[in-house]
Structure 1
Amino acid sequence: METYAHQWWFLVLVGLVILVGLLGIIVPILPGVILIFGAIAVWAFVEGGATAWTVFAVSTAFLVLSGIIKYTWPGRKMKDAGVSNRALFVGAVLGIVGFFVIPVIGLFVGFVLGVYLSELQRLRENQQAWQTTVHALKGVGLSMLIELFGALLATGVWVIGAIVA
């Protein structure tokens, strides 16, 4: 008799949770990395064996490493470009408010508006405030790409492990 881990519906379910996690990275409504980590952890626990736990360890390493890089590299680039921490905080707060005022796109609109208004108040010049806002957006985009890359690597490791196991 085959275990749950070898049944097609279990692999499809794990794959769907991973897919939702990947979408959660692109549209930051769901905790994407946590969903991916959890799905692979459940698969490894149910599958058992050296291959499954190796897949889990390598996937976890990719997720953790991309998480560390996502906060350090873009943050340094934004700091070098002159984006203030206060602007990022105000952008995050208005992004959260915007998410509830204008579903889904309000997060983006609120973030941009928050960073721009904060930088306009600090710099007192429209052009510089907008340039700083653009740098903040590039930093956030780079952060998302790094997180997505790590998640895709983890997903690829899981797919290979699911085939091999």
Structure 2
Amino acid sequence: MDLPQLLLVGLVLLLGVLGVLVPGVPGTLLVWAGVLWWAMHERTAPAWSLLVSATALLLVVQVVKWQLPPRRLRGVGVTRRMAVYAGTGAFLGFVLVPVLGAVPGFMGGIYLCERRRLGTHGEAVTSLRAVMRAVGTSVLVELFACLLVTGAWLAVVATTPSPAGT
């Protein structure tokens, strides 16, 4: 697969990761579709292994999400700004401390948003707890899985040698 196609796949994966944070956007499906598109073009053992692993992980995540309590967005005051802060925090955490940094980054983003809105540490922590109880867990599980698949894709792309003819 040439560089422009790899960049398009990366863009689809990025849109999928961001789509997890936007209600109504099938973020997980976009991430899976990006990996499928890439694997269908690559046709190598690592590509197929990643596709099978991503499919299994994302299916398990959907089952786990259904088992978690339902989302109560309006009751705890979740806003689009908070989703942007949480997503940015998760992304930065994922980059700074690969894979494991997404969780504290997500929570740190929510805390920072609430600290700016409410002003005090105590109120921000209380709000963070309420948000995490209502929506954070299911979003975080899905976001973590999508980031994990995206990170695995990046690792496979970076370590797979390109064919001699391209």
TM range (shorter): 0.5 to 0.7
* TM-score where L is the length of structure 1: 0.58
Question: Counterpart in 2 of 1:35?
Answer: 30
Q: Pairwise mapping of residues 1-165 of structure 1 onto structure 2 (< 5 A)?
A: 5=1, 7-72=2-67, 74-75=68-69, 105=80, 138-165=133-160
> Alpha-carbon deviation of 1:136?
8.1
> What is the number of equivalent residue pairs in this alignment?
112
- The structure richer in helix per residue is 1
> Alpha-carbon deviation of 1:48?
0.3
Q: Does structure 2 retain, via aligned residues, the 8 Å contact 1:66–1:147? A: yes
Query: What's the CA shift string for 1:76-115, capped at 9, x where partnerless?
Result: xx6xxxxxxxxx6xx69x9xxxxxxxxx85xx9xxxxxxx
Report the residue type matching 2:152 in the other structure: V
CA distance in 1, matches of 2:130, 2:64: 18
Query: What's the CA shift string for 1:10-35, capped at 9, x where partnerless?
Result: 11100000100111101224210111
Identical-residue share of aligned pairs (%) = 34
Any stretches of 5+ residues in structure 2 without a counterpart? 84-128, 161-166
CA distance in 1, matches of 2:9, 2:51: 13
Query: What's the CA shift string for 1:48-76, capped at 9, x where partnerless?
Result: 0211100111111221122221221x22x
CA distance in 1, matches of 2:40, 2:20: 24
Any stretches of 5+ residues in structure 1 without a counterpart? 79-87, 95-103, 109-133
Give secondary structure in 2 for the equivalent of 1:27: coil
> Alpha-carbon deviation of 1:139?
3.1
Structure 1 stretch displaced more, 42-51 or 62-71: 62-71
CA distance in 2, matches of 1:57, 1:140: 28
Q: Does structure 2 retain, via aligned residues, the 8 Å contact 1:62–1:151? A: no
CA distance in 1, matches of 2:131, 2:144: 20
